[in-house]
Amino acid sequence: MIVRSQSSAGSSEAPQREAQQAETESPLLELSIAQGITDLVRRRARGRTVSRVGVRLGRAHKVAPDSLDFAFSLLSAGTALDGVELDIEEVDGGELAVGRLRVCEARPPRR
């Protein structure tokens, strides 16, 4: 998982992240968002092999990126999306967007 964070304020992000994670109480939110991502990626991939999915996640959703990544890995295990990496970009506001899919010709065998 790749997590990038953008902040318009120049303050320390560690206390904000801890507060955000403490406010995130229900894993159902991450599961439902991850389900939406997997459904969308399957439709957009049209049978092609995907290696990475870009996601812009607004802090207003109060979703912990590592929990979202874990939920995505649970839902994609044993499917064509197994092993796909989420590239989560945290942004201010309430945005939630699935961006570019990195499509590859062939996936190397898993070890």
pTM given for the model: 0.71
For residue 5, report the phi and psi dihedrals to the nearest 5 degrees: -125, 135
| φ, ψ dihedrals at 83, nearest 5° | 90, -5
Task: For residue 18, count other CB atoms closer than 10 A to its CB.
Answer: 10
Q: What is the pLDDT of residue 68?
A: 95
Share of the chain above pLDDT 90, in %: 58
Fold of 2-6+14-104: hypothetical protein PF0899 fold (3.30.2320)
Residue 13 zone, left/alpha/beta (φ > 0; ψ -120 to 50; rest): alpha
- Which tens digits make up the pLDDT trace of 64-100? 999 999 999 999 999 999 999 999 999 999 999 998 8
- Of residues 44, 74, 69, the one with CA closest to residue 57: 69
